[in-house]
Amino acid sequence: AAMSKSARFGCLCCTYDYETPKTLVIQSTKIGCMFRLVQFVVLLYVVGYVCVVRKAYQERDSVISSVTTKVKGFAYTNTSYMEPRLWDVADYVIPPQGENSFYVLTNVIMTPKQTQSRCPEVRTSALSIQTGLCVNYSATVQTCEVLSWCPLEEHTKLPKPALLNAAADFTVLIKNSITYPKFKVNRRSILPHINSSYLKKCEFNRSTDPYCPIFRLKNIASEAGEDFQDMAVKGGILGIFIDWSCDLDWGAHRCFPKYSFRRLDSKNPVNNVAPGYNFRFAKYYQTPDGQESRTLIKAYGIRFDIIVFGTGGKFGIVPTIINLGAALTILGLAPKVCDWILLTCSSKKDLYKKNKITHLNDDDTESVSN
């Protein structure tokens, strides 16, 4: 019972304890250097990383963007399996306008003069309705008769080099408009110094003309580490990345787009099932006797996805105060770190602890005052 009462008395006394910081000056080169080193590391983090790298004193806003494109170029083909033909933008850009992307036709397999009728089934094709009859496919082979668009598409070998390998020299104008609504900043990929005469002759070059918005397709593939002629055979997807990250403290006139390029579709040499990019479409006609006819086109090509991103930053009083307070708090940890090292790791930790922590009670204070 006595011990229980003593324990309760001790806990009660602790309730009324008051702690106040005590300044202990230690004249030691080693400890002084350690303290200044900790302060230097904290200041280096605050100034170098927080202020310079992250610019934490700025308010942020994400870019809002719109993109339109215009492809230019002509190609002429003259092969044994197709009549001579001139190709222009209306032929090889499908569809004419995409959502932040454009597609350029580079290779085709055509099946002309198809009509809805009955014909022998092609073994590699299952895109038809069987009639239940067996008919001659060739002199030695019989297959099921099908109701379909005849003649059926033959799975022939792709033209190599690609039929429209001249597309490598086509050009595209990318018109990109962006805004930072919080800061009321608007910019275009056609910069203020670009006029009509300059736009007719300029071409993007990372070294000599990095802000020209006109790109040659083969150079886009080259920047992405790809060979355009190889991609043109089976198609693929290339990404055009436009980075509008800007430090608006220097003014909106110093906010410029930065372009980068990358292949987006898989090109794994081990797991390369269904490589490239292709789709089918048809062009419909009417014969003189009124029958519907079409040309089926299996189109291989390169899709260019335009991906716009970026963050604008500008000085703001609120983030500045918040990060300044955080910096002062972190700086205040330097003495705590040194105290912990002194009181736990130092060879004179008992001496430091004896002088660092002093216990006084009311009787001691009265004796001191007398």
Alpha helices per DSSP H over the chain: 2-15, 29-44, 89-92, 196-201, 217-223, 228-234, 317-331, 333-344, 349-356, 362-369
Helix axis angle, 317-331 to 29-44, nearest 10°: 160
Q: Return the number of other C-beta atoms located less than 10 Å from residue 365's C-beta.
A: 10
Helix (H), strand (E) at residue 84: strand 82-87
Give the C-alpha separation, 309 to 314, whole Å. Answer: 17
268 a known binding residue? no
Q: Return the number of other C-beta atoms located less than 10 Å from residue 139's C-beta.
A: 5
195 a known binding residue? no
354 a known binding residue? no
Residue 298 burial (C-beta neighbours within 10 Å; 0-12, 13-18, 19+): middle
241 a known binding residue? no
Distances (CA, A) of 219 to 45, 87, 262, 289: 41, 21, 12, 49
69 a known binding residue? no
Partnered with residue 281 across adjacent β-strands are: 297
261 a known binding residue? no
Give the C-alpha separation, 313 to 58, whole Å. Answer: 5
Give the C-alpha separation, 236 to 268, whole Å. Answer: 13
233 a known binding residue? no
Give all strands (DSSP E) within 121-247, no chain letters: 129-136, 142-150, 171-180, 185-188, 214-216, 236-243, 246-247
Helix%, strand%, coil% for the chain, nearest 5: 30, 35, 35
278 a known binding residue? yes
Partnered with residue 75 across adjacent β-strands are: 87
- Residues 6 or more apart whose Cβ sits within 8 Å of residue 98: 69
The Cα angle at residue 338 between residues 336 and 339, in degrees rounded to 5: 65
In the annotated binding site, the residues are: 70-72, 171, 278-280, 298
Please give the annotated binding residues for ATP, written as ranges.
70-72, 171, 278-280, 298
